[in-house]
Chains A and B, each alone.
Chain A
């Protein structure tokens, strides 16, 4: 196996940038104080300033004010707080929640739990490329609807929803709108001055920041019930000692991303998609050609199982992930591939390649060649391939 693996699972987590780590270090080793008020000791005041500077940097990326952004431990917590917090706060006004069929687990499972508690949840279908039908959304909103949660970019197939239109529909109908932007924050611009969204979940570890830190944008005036009880931290919406080193690292990660990098990543993604289409027969790109996150390529290699592809790529030092069942440790095949109308065979043969800062053109070439060779060999021994040839 290679000494330096080719890592193409940046949507799961990405390598922390050394500049991020350097920015965090002083708040791990030198300044270890909690954020305190101006009346306390200097180290605490410095810590508070660092926390608020970080908050401002991240909020600015969304076009928001720093008062509208709180830190959490991860985007999963952010989405839990958003959905449960709104549901609890507005339970007297209504009990209907709308999400899409292909939401990531933090939204999907939170909605499932709220459903078990008596909330009525509508799961919107998506089309063959993963897009929500906006007319269906509009028709689904009723007088009991209190919350809509539709993601910005899909975690598996990269579909970019038109969150501006979704937000406008919700705004017009006076319904709170939350979006999970874990896979778009930093990669696809979101401006809350242009998009009337109320809540946005974001994360650091998908953009070369640290793990263990996420955030939630909360538009001023959005009704939200605190879910983590304790102290008064984070605008009294999320108790617990703030993770200041991680917050500083998160802000540094945001500072390091620019449009040029996103364009470069998109070019790598397109090179991989083109290369696979050219070199490997019987492949399908899952998700749209356009309107997809710049870092995501998700491809089904027919007649072969995703686990096998993933394992053989790993043995050549290439890290990718699959929507196939065994590997993902869930009992069923990818709900996203099934959601876009795929069958089990399409889901089981799907492989996700997600790019980041440290990927190169040479790596793309190597991955395409390795995949093409592996697929060829696996198809020769695959019973699915034989069935197809008969």
Chain B
């Protein structure tokens, strides 16, 4: 079964959502899925930027009622 975790950064502003996402990524294992939920508009743009920089997989970005949800996958080990 795929391991996954949720990260709630609702109400947090820059750079906290990014800092928390990095923390979650550092503590994750290969193949794990991280779901970040927040509402700070800039973080919705910055987190995908970080995903690319870290070589992670961006699975999904959803936005509803001023809340966004970003799904990130940690790459499997070679």
Contact of A1 with B15 in the complex, beta carbons under 8 Å: no
A-B contacts counted at CB < 8 A amount to 37
Given contacts A315-B22, A315-B53, A315-B54, contact A381 B46 (CB under 8 A): yes
* B18 touches which of A1, A308, A382 (Cβ 8 Å): A308
Contact of A311 with B22 in the complex, beta carbons under 8 Å: yes
**CB-nearest residue of chain A relative to B55?**
A1
Distance of A364 from chain B, by nearest CB (Å): 19
B10 close to A (CB within 8 Å): no
Contact of B50 with A315 in the complex, beta carbons under 8 Å: yes
Interface residues in B, total, Cβ within 8 A: 14
A305 close to B (CB within 8 Å): yes
A103 close to B (CB within 8 Å): no
The docked-state distance in angstroms from the alpha carbon of A15 to that of B16 is 29
* B45 touches which of A1, A314, A381 (Cβ 8 Å): A381
* Residues in A298-312 with C-beta less than 8 Å from chain B: 305, 307-308, 311-312
* Residues in A256-294 with C-beta less than 8 Å from chain B: none
**CB-nearest residue of chain A relative to B21?**
A311
The docked-state distance in angstroms from the alpha carbon of A140 to that of B21 is 50
Distance of A314 from chain B, by nearest CB (Å): 8
Q: Which residues from chain B contact A314 at a C-beta distance below 8 Å? A: 22
Distance of B8 from chain A, by nearest CB (Å): 19
Contact of B53 with A378 in the complex, beta carbons under 8 Å: no
Distance of A345 from chain B, by nearest CB (Å): 14
| A40-63 interface bits toward B, Cβ cutoff 8 Å, 1 = contact, 0 = none | 000000000000000000000000
The docked-state distance in angstroms from the alpha carbon of A327 to that of B22 is 14
B14 close to A (CB within 8 Å): yes
Interface residues in A, total, Cβ within 8 A: 17
**CB-nearest residue of chain A relative to B16?**
A326
Q: Which residues from chain B contact A383 at a C-beta distance below 8 Å? A: 42
Given contacts A305-B14, A305-B15, A307-B15, contact A312 B50 (CB under 8 A): yes
* Residues in A316-350 with C-beta less than 8 Å from chain B: 316, 326-327
The docked-state distance in angstroms from the alpha carbon of A315 to that of B48 is 12
Distance of B34 from chain A, by nearest CB (Å): 15
Contact of A378 with B46 in the complex, beta carbons under 8 Å: yes
**CB-nearest residue of chain A relative to B52?**
A315
Contact of B54 with A308 in the complex, beta carbons under 8 Å: no
Q: Which residues from chain A contact B46 at a C-beta distance below 8 Å? A: 308, 312, 378, 381
Given contacts A1-B54, A311-B22, A382-B42, contact A377 B49 (CB under 8 A): yes
| B40-63 interface bits toward A, Cβ cutoff 8 Å, 1 = contact, 0 = none | 001001100110011100000000
Given contacts A1-B54, A316-B53, A377-B49, contact A311 B18 (CB under 8 A): yes
* A311 touches which of B42, B50, B55 (Cβ 8 Å): B50
* B14 touches which of A308, A315, A380 (Cβ 8 Å): A308
The docked-state distance in angstroms from the alpha carbon of A305 to that of B14 is 9
Q: Which residues from chain A contact B54 at a C-beta distance below 8 Å? A: 1, 315
The docked-state distance in angstroms from the alpha carbon of A320 to that of B15 is 16
| A365-385 interface bits toward B, Cβ cutoff 8 Å, 1 = contact, 0 = none | 000000000000110111100
**CB-nearest residue of chain A relative to B18?**
A311
28 A-B pairs, CB-CB below 8 angstroms? A1-B54, A1-B55, A305-B14, A305-B15, A307-B14, A307-B15, A307-B19, A308-B14, A308-B18, A308-B46, A311-B15, A311-B18, A311-B19, A311-B22, A311-B50, A312-B46, A312-B49, A312-B50, A312-B53, A315-B22, A315-B50, A315-B54, A316-B53, A326-B15, A326-B16, A380-B45, A381-B45, A381-B46
New A-B contacts (7) at CB < 8 Å, excluding given A326-B15, A381-B46: A305-B14, A307-B19, A311-B18, A311-B50, A315-B50, A316-B53, A378-B46
- Chain A residues close to B by CB (< 8 Å): 1, 305, 307-308, 311-312, 314-316, 326-327, 377-378, 380-383
The 3 closest A-B pairs by CB, nearest first: A315-B53, A381-B45, A307-B15
